[in-house]
Amino acid sequence: MMKPASLAALGIALLLPCPGGAQPASPDPVGVRITRGEYHGWPDAVFLSNDKVEAVIVPAVGRVMQFRFAGEADGPFWENPAADGRRAGQDAGGWVNYGGDKVWPAPQSAWPRITGRGWPPPAGFDGRPARAEIGDGAVTLVFPPDPAYGLQVRRRIWLAPDARRMVITTTFEKTSGGPVEAGIWTIVQLRDPREVDAPARDAAGSASSPVLLGGYAPPKTKTEGAWLAVTRDPAANHKIGLHTGALVWIGSSAVLRLFMDLAPGARYPDQNSSAEIYTNADPLPYVELELLGPLATLKPGERIDQTVTYLLERRDRQ
C-alpha cells in the first residue's frame, strides 16, 4: 500500500479541485495532431495527439478507448480484447463491455421507469455509433438522440498542446419529449491498479465516509492521512460512492488523475455521490473511476454540461 508521503511526492494532493478554476477553457490546435486509422479491428479510429500523450477515439462504439503516453502501444485504460472490432452483444441484454471511457445518464435506478428496462444502458448513450466532428484541435462525438430520455449526447475531446492532459466536455441536450431528470455520469474503465485513491475529506473539509452502493460487500479500503485507498478484490465486485471531484489511479509506472469542479449546494445521484469507485472481479481485472454531475430536470431546448480532466504522469516503480 502506498503511504501518504509517496502520494505527496507524486503531487497527487494537487489534484483536489479548485472551484471555478480547475478546468482549461478551450482547445488550442497548435501542437495537436488529429489523424485517422485502424485500431484493434476498428477501421476508422481517430487519434488525437501531441508530443506527450495520445487519445484513441473509436466513433463506431462512441468511446475514448485509450489515453496513453506518446509513442507507446498501451496505456492505463482497460480494453476488452474479446470485443475488438465487434458490435454483436456479449450478454443477455445485447450489451458489449468494450472498455475505455463512456457516459451514461444517472441515476441508474431511474432507467426502468424511463426506458422500461434496467439493463442494458439506454441506447442513445452507449454502444451505438457516433458521428465524429473534427476541428479546432478537438474531436466531438455526436450521438443519435435517445428516444426514451429525449436527450442527445455530445462529447468534445481535446488535449492541452504542451501537457499530458486530456479534457472531455460532455453535453446532454433535451431535444424531445417531456421534462426528464438526469445527471451526466462519466465512467472510465482502467487496468488493475496498485491502488485507487480519493480524498478522505470532501470539498468543505469534512470527513467523507464512503457510501456502499449496489448491495456489494465493503471493498478493500484503508484511510491513510488525507487519502482513502482502494484495492481490487479478485474474488468479488465492489462499489462505493464519495462526495469529491477527484480520483487517482496508481499503476506500476503511471498515475492517472481525474478531476472536475463540484457545484456547491447541488443534488448529486446515489446518496450525494459525485464520484464512485467500482472494482471488478476476475476474470476481467479492471476498475472503474466514475465522476457524476449534479441532477437537473431538463425541458426541450435545455442542456447540462460536465467537464472532466484526465492528467497522465509517470512514476517510479516501487
CATH number at residue 192: 2.70.98.10
Residue 127: name the closest of 76, 67, 187, 193 by CA. Answer: 187
For 7-48, write each residue's pLDDT tens digit: 433 444 434 443 334 455 567 777 899 999 999 999 999 999
Least confident segment among 65-74, 145-154, 200-209, 257-266: 200-209
Give me the pLDDT at residue 91, please. 55
* E strand residue ranges, 99-164: 101-106, 131-135, 138-142, 151-159
Mean pLDDT over 151-168 rounds to 95
| Type and span of the H or E element at 184 | strand 180-191
208 falls within a domain: yes
242 domain-assigned: yes
Domains held by the chain: number: 1
Decide if 68 contacts 54 (C-beta within 8 A).
yes
Instruction: Map residue 90 onto helix, strand or coil.
Output: coil
Look up residue 145 and give its three cell numbers.
438522440
Q: Which amino acid, 269? A: P
What is the distance, to the nearest Å, from the Cα of residue 226 to the centroid of all Cα atoms in its chain? 23
Tell me, yes or no, whether 140 lies in a domain: yes
Q: Given this model, what pLDDT does residue 202 score?
A: 66
Cα–Cα distance list, 173 to 59, 145, 161, 180, 201 (Å): 19, 9, 29, 11, 33
- Is residue 22 a part of any domain in this protein? no
b/e per residue 85-119 (b: at least 16 CB within 10 A): eeeeeeeeeeebebbbbbbbbbbbebbeebbeeee
- Average pLDDT value over all residues in the chain: 88
pLDDT band, very low/low/confident/very high, at 206 (cuts 50, 70, 90): low
Rounded Cα–Cα distance for residues 210 and 249 (Å): 17
> Does residue 23 lie within any of the structural domains?
no
Q: What residues make up the domain containing 245?
A: 4-10+28-314
Is the whole-model pTM more than 0.75? Answer: yes
For residue 215, how many C-alpha atoms fall within 13 Å in the half-sphere facing its CB? 1
* Any domain includes 231: yes
Mapped onto helix, strand or coil, the DSSP state of residue 61 is coil
Q: Which helix (H) or strand (E) holds 34?
A: strand 33-39
* 20 assigned to some structural domain: no
Percent of all residues in the chain with a pLDDT value above 70, rounded to a whole number: 86
| Whole-number pLDDT of residue 226 | 84
Reported as a pLDDT band with limits 50, 70 and 90, residue 215 is confident
Give the model's pLDDT for residue 7.
Answer: 45
Residue 268 within any structural domain of the chain: yes
Q: Is the pLDDT of residue 267 over 50?
A: yes
Nearest to 139 by CA among 155, 162, 161: 155
Phi, psi of 186, deg, nearest 5: -90, 130
